[in-house]
Amino acid sequence: MTEAGKQLSSLESGGYRFGEELVSFCKNWTPTSYELRRLLKNRLTSDQFQRITTDLDGDYHQEQSEWRAAGAYERSHSVVGKEKY
């Protein structure tokens, strides 16, 4: 997984591009939160990583393995960018 993570573009090449590649990486490799923290710590500068470190607290793992199904669920529970809940 570490080798695959090295294929991600740098954040300096654009945050949107990096974000798209990171989502694609997560879909293909399904890292745990620990693995994702380790990957991002190696890819980001210490300042960049420090900004997001609290978002990565905890032990998370993927529950939904079919991303299309997850997207359908999210679309069915949102109205013009706002959640129905």
Residue of 83 and 20 predicted with greater confidence: 20
The CA-CA-CA angle for residues 59, 61, 64, to 5°, reads: 150
pLDDT, tens digit, for every residue of 6-31? 888 888 888 888 889 988 888 888 88
Q: Which residue has the tokens 């299309």?
A: 68
Task: Round to whole Å and give the CA distance between 85 and 49.
Answer: 32
Q: How far apart are CA 35 and CA 16, in angstroms?
A: 21
The pLDDT score that the predictor gives to residue 54 is 83
CA pair distance 85, 19, nearest whole angstrom: 27
